[in-house]
Chain A
Amino acid sequence: MGLRSPLGQAKGLGSAKEGLHHWWVQRVTAVALIPLTVWFAFKVAVLSMSDYNTVAECIGSPWSAALIISLIVAAFYHAALGMQVIYEDYIGAKAVRISAIMGTNLLLFLLAAAGIIAVVRIAVGG
């Protein structure tokens, strides 16, 4: 449409050098999650059979708490990016797609905040 050439239309619009950001952060969080999830999976499997004092002490020790909070940040960021790609691939209707992405992002943020607050509370013994 219009009299502007394809080049004229594209000029000035990009590259904003941001095309890589989504892909790259997905990889950075993935790399962070390799050691974190291995550590956490073994911890959870054992602690799923433990009593309150053992678990509270184990999760609440300073290093454990720091690692779990790091895990929560990386995992929820990674999940939000991954779910976005799934929605973008399978949901055709734009309004539904954007709502799904936005809803998931907000929900995951809330869950991450709740998880971090829980860990902090366990760590400081509130």
Chain B
Amino acid sequence: MSSNNRPLSPHLDVYRLPLSALISIVHRGTGAFLTIGTVVLVWWLMALAGGEQSFNEAQEFMGGFFGKLILFGWSFALFFHLANGIRHLVWDAGYCFEKSDVEKSSYIVLGAAGFLTVLVWIIAFSTGGGA
């Protein structure tokens, strides 16, 4: 056990994370963020159940700058976690493990998350809450 020239695993602080590794940790981060976001969801539903006055107060906060920021962040985190979660299910089924596949699906995940986030807000702003 005294061999000095065995290959060492890369130390994370001198190792540039590949995109797939970055996405992996962001998946975890968005998962934790979405868990915290459930508090806001339940608070909003509670305000709605509480009647018109309490709902209007909640809606006023969500319509403000900070509320909108939370909603935009929430929607991106959700769509990112969704897209990458589907990639995880594909991996679970045993497909797309080749390095080139992983590289390609990393960009698909980012593209899908960005596209859905933009799409959801285009629809929301164009209907103006009428639906």
Q: A-side interface residues toward B, CB under 8 Å?
A: 27, 30-31, 33-34, 37-38, 41-42, 44-52, 54-56, 58-59, 68, 75-76, 79, 82-83, 86, 108, 111, 114-115, 117-119, 121-122, 126
Whether B89 lies near A27 (C-beta < 8 A) is yes
Given contact pairs A46-B127, A48-B129, enumerate 11 new A-B contacts (beta carbons under 8 Å).
Answer: A27-B92, A34-B82, A41-B75, A42-B120, A49-B125, A50-B129, A52-B55, A56-B48, A82-B31, A82-B32, A118-B46
Whether A52 lies near B56 (C-beta < 8 A) is yes
**Also in contact, A31 and B89, with CB within 8 A (given A52-B52, A118-B48):** yes
Query: What residues on B are CB-neighbors of A38 within 8 Å?
Result: 82, 116
The B interface is mostly helix, strand or loop, or mixed, namely helix
Number of interface residues of B (CB under 8 A): 41
Whether A37 lies near B48 (C-beta < 8 A) is no
Whether B35 lies near A82 (C-beta < 8 A) is yes
Q: B-side interface residues toward A, CB under 8 Å?
A: 28, 31-32, 34-35, 38-39, 41-42, 45-46, 48-49, 52, 55-56, 59, 62-63, 67, 71, 75, 78-79, 82, 85-86, 88-89, 92, 116, 120-121, 123-125, 127-131
> What CA separation (Å) do A111 and B42 show in the bound complex?
7
Whether B38 lies near A49 (C-beta < 8 A) is no
Query: What residues on B are CB-neighbors of A108 within 8 Å?
Result: 35, 38
Question: Which residue on chain B has the smallest CB distance to residue A71?
Answer: B41
Of A30, A45, A58, A75, the residue contacting B71 (CB under 8 A) is A45
> What CA separation (Å) do A83 and B34 show in the bound complex?
11
Of B35, B59, B78, B128, the residue contacting A37 (CB under 8 A) is B78
